[in-house]
Amino acid sequence: MDSLPLLKYLVEAGLGSRRQVVAAIKLGRVAVNGRQAESYTMPVYPQADKITFDGKPVSFHDRARIVLMLNKPLGLLTTTRDDRGRKTVLDILPPEYRGLGLYPVGRLDHDTTGLLLLTNDGSLTYRLTHPRFELGKEYLVYIEGMLKPGEKESIEKGVLLDDGMTAPATLGEINYAPPYNYSITIHEGRTRQVRRMFAHLGYTVRALKRVRMGNLRLGELAEGQFKRLSVQEIASALREHKK
In whole angstroms, give the CA distance from residue 27 to residue 212: 35
The yes or no reply on residue 118 touching ligand URA (CB under 6 A) is no
Is residue 151 classed as helix, strand or coil in its secondary structure? helix
Query: In the complex with ligand URA, which residue's Cβ is closer, 177 or 235?
Result: 177
Query: In the complex with ligand URA, which residue's Cβ is closer, 78 or 119?
Result: 78
- Note if 109 is an active site residue: yes
Whole-number minimum distance, CB 111 to ligand URA, in Å? Answer: 8
Of positions 108, 135, 211, 238, contacts ligand URA by CB under 6 A: 108
In whole angstroms, give the CA distance from residue 147 to residue 202: 10
Query: In the complex with ligand URA, which residue's Cβ is closer, 223 or 233?
Result: 223
Of positions 17, 112, 129, 181, contacts ligand URA by CB under 6 A: 112
What are the residue ranges of helices labelled H in the chain? 6-12, 18-26, 122-129, 151-157, 193-200, 231-241
Question: How far, rounded to the nearest angstrom, does the alpha carbon of residue 36 sit from its chain's CA centroid?
Answer: 29
Number of residues that bind ligand URA (CB under 6 A): 8
Instruction: Write each residue from 182 to 221 as x if it is in contact with ligand URA (CB under 6 A), else as -, in one continuous string.
Output: ----------xxxx------------x-------------
Q: Are 90 and 118 in contact (CB under 8 A)?
A: yes
Rg (alpha carbons) of the chain, rounded to whole number: 20
Contact footprint for ligand URA (CB under 6 A):
108-109, 112, 192-195, 208
